[in-house]
Amino acid sequence: MPSVKRRQLPAFKGRPCRTGGFTLVEVLIAMVLMMVVTAAIYGVWFGLQRTYSFTEDDMKAQQEARTALAEMVELIRTARRPDAPPSTALDLVIVSADSNSLVCWTDVDRDAAHDLELVRFRVDEGTRTLYRDTSQTGDITFAEGTAVRLVGNWLSNNDDLPLFAYRDSNGTAIPAPVADPMTIREVMIDLHIDIDTERRPIAHQLTSVVQPRNLRQY
């Protein structure tokens, strides 16, 4: 039987199979992708944290403003003339009235004796704070008074957005500062709150009209 010559196929010279680990380039690409994903996750988390903090501060500011407005309304409404004023200049229910400051006699501590204290509500534009100063001695400079912060760091009242406005018995606006506080019959309170003036939402506005009930004695 004649012998058959077998044809020898050429050896395959393709890319050899890799049995080792990742190359340096692949590792670097993976690290870059991981950094991009991590940065994106951190950006979202940081944004959520800022939104939560902003919302929390906004709610706190509104609560402070509502409490402050209620206190001002009550103390101004129940203001009255002192029985024994320390001076003739202080023998008034409302001692002085300006755009961002009001001084009156009222019972702050609501004690059993119903003694009056000289009280001043004032705006500090520098710190964006609303204060209530109290003097037990009737010191108009409030050197002996005690300052209580009613709204802190979020107040937007200023010369352009006055806290107080006034009307006489005819409903006519009285320019501030009021030359004769005895002519006041209504006090308009316009409280503006904005925790971040560079960011929305716009400032909150709380308003009320107070008619001090003891002014009729004049």
Q: Is the residue at 101 inside a domain?
A: yes
Please give the Cα distance from 93 to 128 (Å, whole number): 28
Q: Which of 52-56, 153-157, 173-177 has the highest mean pLDDT?
A: 173-177
Q: Is the residue at 12 inside a domain?
A: no
Dig out the tokens for 67 from the structure. 């409490």
Position 135 confidence tier, pLDDT thresholds 50, 70, 90: very high
**Are the beta carbons of 211 and 186 closer than 8 angstroms?**
yes
Q: Is the residue at 74 inside a domain?
A: yes
Report residue 114 CA to chain centroid gap.
33
**At a CB cut-off of 8 Å and minimum separation 6, what does 108 contact?**
75, 117, 119, 132, 134
Structurally, the chain folds into a number of domains equal to: 1
Domain span at residue 82?
A: 53-217
Q: Is the residue at 211 inside a domain?
A: yes
Does 211 score more than 80 pLDDT? yes
Q: Is the residue at 32 inside a domain?
A: no
At residue 83, the pLDDT reads: 87
Secondary structure of residue 136 in the 3-state scheme: coil
Position 30 confidence tier, pLDDT thresholds 50, 70, 90: confident
Q: Is the residue at 148 inside a domain?
A: yes
Dig out the tokens for 93 from the structure. 């229910």
Question: What are 141-150's contacts with CB under 8 Å, separation 24+?
Answer: 142/118, 145/118, 145/120, 150/64, 150/67, 150/68, 150/71, 150/72, 150/121
Q: Is the residue at 6 inside a domain?
A: no
Does 2 score more than 90 pLDDT? no
At residue 216, the pLDDT reads: 60
The reported pTM is 0.75
Q: Is the residue at 105 inside a domain?
A: yes
Window from 44-58, 72-86, 103-117, 129-143 with minimum mean pLDDT: 44-58
Does 47 score more than 70 pLDDT? no
Secondary structure of residue 37 in the 3-state scheme: helix
Angle at 215 between CA 209 and CA 217, to 5 degrees: 160
